[in-house]
Amino acid sequence: MIAIDPTIDWTISVALALIFVASAVMKLIDLNEFHGAVENYRIVPEQISGLVAGAVPIAEIAGAIGLMLPATHRSAAMLLSMLLIVFTASIAINLLRGRRNIDCGCFGPALRQQLSWWLPARNAAMIAMLAIVMLPATERPLAPLDIATIAFAAATLAVLYSAANYLVANAPHLRALEIADA
Amino acid sequence: MHDALVISHVVLWIAVLALSAVVLALIRQIGVLHERIAPMGALTMDKGPKVGDRSPVFELTDLAHQPLTLGAPRDDLRSSLLMFVSPTCPVCKKLLPIVKSVVAAESQWLDLIFTSDGEPSEQEGFIRKYQLGQYSFVLSSELGMTYRVSKLPYAVLIDHEGIVRAKGLVNTREHLESIVAAKQMGIGSIQEYLKNLHPHDSMEPAAAIANGEKGNQHHG
């Protein structure tokens, strides 16, 4: 069995925890709109879409906190992977239905991302990172420099993730400009 | 030597983090620029009816199979508020009760007409759910194309002479009231309305989205 260095384990965990907390907070800020986004996916019956819209951010926060605690580290990674698999399936189903114009709802209304195949690819990368977290870590004690590396690298990953999301959100605008110019 | 490496390492991480933040800020700004230049505005507005222009006349049939003439002068001196909505637009759902209450307050001179395109069955579910049965609801992609509607919810106010009095993207009660107030106050755009409300504020992001309207005013 492959074991990973704890610095890598913690870097990924802190970055993903930041991302999931941010995503949950944005959804909770405008839960009404996120409810609309859930309805647009047309995956769950309308009667329970409100319940699902409330449950998703709670699960995200629970997963993020669990990832930070050694006792629940691996089970939280499992929970977040499940969540991502469900999101990815919902996005893929709607892409296959040809319904690209709906809002992803990924970061609540703060970031209007239309559905595209980039989103399943992004989620697959996050699932791969969670799979690394689920591997056993070696017993090396963390030195002060490791703590610094974890803090800087996790913050960098989270910022780059956010930048990539903005790029994807901008893509339809750019396409609209190109069509108008043609 | 060891200390030097540690310091170098930490300094490099700080630089990486700072550069990432700069990239993020740049990409966000590109998004804002797109919002300002992309909407129907300068690129396509020459083809859409401008504020102050006569609206094209549409002979339509609503979902209740009632004939509806839009854009023609009306003998009863009533104006029409055309609301472009869609069942897949979360902001529309939030705005619907506001639209109903604003129009109810102006019901002595204003008719509300909802318009969308797509599957009638889908729209009928939408109408039932949000209790829009009392208003005309037409399915017409021609309307949206004529008015160059690229973002929802979008409103167009046509007065009793068939003149377009105001139009624009409406995300809030304030936006909608600016459209309805346009007829009495002679203001044709959200920007003008907001400028009168807060003369010293810089342009709000929501208003910037409808920036095409501003250009429209100056050209029209």
Q: Is A166 on the interface with B (CB under 8 A)?
A: yes
Query: Does B68 score more than 60 pLDDT?
Result: yes
The mean pLDDT value for B148-170 works out to 82
The mean pLDDT value for B153-178 works out to 83
Query: Does B184 score more than 80 pLDDT?
Result: no
Quick one: tokens of B73? 């002068």
* pLDDT range class, residue A109, cuts 50, 70, 90: low
Q: Is A169 on the interface with B (CB under 8 A)?
A: yes
A 67-126 near B (Cβ less than 8 A): 99, 101-103, 109
* pLDDT range class, residue A146, cuts 50, 70, 90: very high
How confident is the model at residue B204, as a pLDDT?
A: 43
Q: Is A146 on the interface with B (CB under 8 A)?
A: no
How confident is the model at residue A52, as a pLDDT?
A: 93
How confident is the model at residue A9, as a pLDDT?
A: 94
Q: Is A167 on the interface with B (CB under 8 A)?
A: yes
* pLDDT range class, residue B82, cuts 50, 70, 90: confident
* pLDDT range class, residue B67, cuts 50, 70, 90: confident
Per-residue CA distances from B134 to B98, B158, B204 (Å) = 15, 20, 34
How confident is the model at residue A53, as a pLDDT?
A: 92
The mean pLDDT value for A90-111 works out to 84
Residue to substitute from A14, A107, A156, A174, interface B, most B β-carbons within 10 A: A156
Residue to substitute from B10, B22, B23, interface A, most A β-carbons within 10 A: B23
Q: What is the mean pLDDT of chain B?
A: 75
The mean pLDDT value for B126-135 works out to 81
How confident is the model at residue B51, as a pLDDT?
A: 78
| Nearest by CB: A173 against B10, B14, B34 | B34
**What is the distance between the alpha carbons of residues B61 and B58, in angstroms, rounded to a whole number?**
10
* pLDDT range class, residue B53, cuts 50, 70, 90: confident
Q: Is A156 on the interface with B (CB under 8 A)?
A: yes
Measured between beta carbons, which residues in chain B are less than 8 angstroms from residue A180? 38, 43-44
Residue A32, amino acid: N
- Contact at CB, B90 and A37, closer than 8 angstroms: yes
Summarize pLDDT for B110-120 with one digit per residue, the tens.
888 888 877 77
Query: Does B41 score more than 80 pLDDT?
Result: no
- Contact at CB, B20 and A160, closer than 8 angstroms: yes
Do B115 and B138 form a contact (C-beta atoms < 8 A)?
Answer: yes
Task: Answer positive or negative: Cα dihedral of B169, B37, B26, A123.
Answer: positive
A156 vs A179 pLDDT, higher one: A156
Query: Does B208 score more than 80 pLDDT?
Result: no
Peptide bond into A141 cis (omega under 30): no
How confident is the model at residue B7, as a pLDDT?
A: 87
**What is the distance between the alpha carbons of residues A113 and A96, in angstroms, rounded to a whole number?**
17
Residue to substitute from A99, A170, A174, interface B, most B β-carbons within 10 A: A170
Q: Is the predicted ipTM greater than 0.90, yes or no? A: no
* pLDDT range class, residue B146, cuts 50, 70, 90: confident
Indicate the burial class of B159 (C-beta count within 10 angstroms; 0-12, 13-18, 19 or more). Answer: buried
How confident is the model at residue B117, as a pLDDT?
A: 79
Tell me the shortest Cα–Cα distance from A152 to chain B, in angstroms. Answer: 6
Summarize pLDDT for A22-53 with one digit per residue, the tens.
999 999 988 888 888 888 888 888 889 889 99
Q: Is A36 on the interface with B (CB under 8 A)?
A: yes
Q: What is the mean pLDDT of chain A?
A: 90
Q: Is A170 on the interface with B (CB under 8 A)?
A: yes
Measured between beta carbons, which residues in chain B are less than 8 angstroms from residue A166? 24, 27-28, 30-31
Q: Which of A66-80, A92-106, B51-65 is predicted with the least confidence, judged by mean pLDDT?
A: B51-65
Determine how β-strand B110-116 pairs with β-strand B79-84.
Answer: parallel
